[in-house]
Amino acid sequence: MSEITIETLMNRMPKAFIPEKAIGVDAVIQYHLTGEEAGDWIIKIKDGQCEVESGVAENPKMTLTADSEDYKNVILGKIDGMKAFMQGKLKLAGDLNLAMKLTNFFKLR
């Protein structure tokens, strides 16, 4: 198991956000994590800002569903995000184009 928590990763997202990579993006993204560190998180990207809060978004542009450990492994670079998606470890709903760009918006490692 990872020593870093989901909460720590989520709290790092605004600091790791790269505004110039997300010019013109206005999106609410729902993360639904299951497993040991289950929880719901809302990521809001708008006007070069990124906000993260726990909870459920009313009308997200995209939803990512994953086991918390699988998600951490993707973020920490232990497994490839595309491979995890193809294996069904990451499930995406909504704007898949946004999902493809999302990893470029953050420098978490």
Q: Is the pTM of this model over 0.95?
A: no
Question: If the chain, 109 residues long, is cut into consecutive pieces of 10 residues, what is the mean pLDDT of each piece?
Answer: 84 95 96 98 97 97 97 90 92 93 82
Tokens of 16: 């790791």
Which residue is associated with the tokens 């809302």? 42
Structure confidence at residue 1 (pLDDT): 47
Structure confidence at residue 100 (pLDDT): 85
Cβ–Cβ under 8 Å, residues 41 and 31: yes
Structure confidence at residue 103 (pLDDT): 82
Cβ–Cβ under 8 Å, residues 84 and 109: no
Structure confidence at residue 108 (pLDDT): 66
Domains belonging to the chain, first-starting first, are: 6-103 (3.30.1050.10)
Structure confidence at residue 77 (pLDDT): 87
SS3 state at 103: helix
> Residue 96 is which amino acid?
L
